[in-house]
Amino acid sequence: MAVLIVGFSAGAFNHARDFWTRGWHPYRWAPLPVFELYWSALLFLDLAVVGLLIVGHIRLGLLLAVAIMVSDVAINITATRLAGSDDFAAALLWQVAFLGFVLGAVGFLWPAKAPSAVTD
């Protein structure tokens, strides 16, 4: 669980740093505008995973983590191919490795029993 929290916190930090250093339009170079929108949204999506896992919404946090990593790797591979550049090659390898970790962790971290509703 700690690796997931640290990993998604690092992702949020990187996207926050992009906003801080490049302003509200940090990915102007993106091959498609939808990529910039997605990458900008990752700041908030990564923080959502961290928050969900910390407060104990494990299933929802894991589902969001998988959705983010699968889509992020797919979009980054597509962006790399469209841009015709290997600038992201090293980062992409780390993302693919983290995707593998996320997918593997789900089987170990998924609660066996759904949380019961709180009744008063």
Q: Would the pLDDT of 17 be above 60?
A: yes
Q: So what's the pLDDT on residue 118?
A: 55
Largest CA-CA distance found in the chain, in angstroms, rounded: 59
Report the C-alpha gap between 95 and 73 in whole angstroms: 7
The pTM of the full predicted model, rounded to 2 decimals, is: 0.86
pLDDT tens readout for residues 29-69 = 777 778 888 888 999 999 999 999 999 999 999 999 999 99
Scored b (16 or more CB within 10 A) or e, 77-99 reads: eebbeeeeeeeeeeebeebeebb
Question: Can you tell me the mean pLDDT for 90-113?
Answer: 93
Residue 120 confidence class, pLDDT cut points 50, 70, 90: very low
Question: Can you tell me the mean pLDDT for 2-9?
Answer: 97
Q: Would the pLDDT of 11 be above 90?
A: yes
Whole-number average pLDDT of the chain: 88
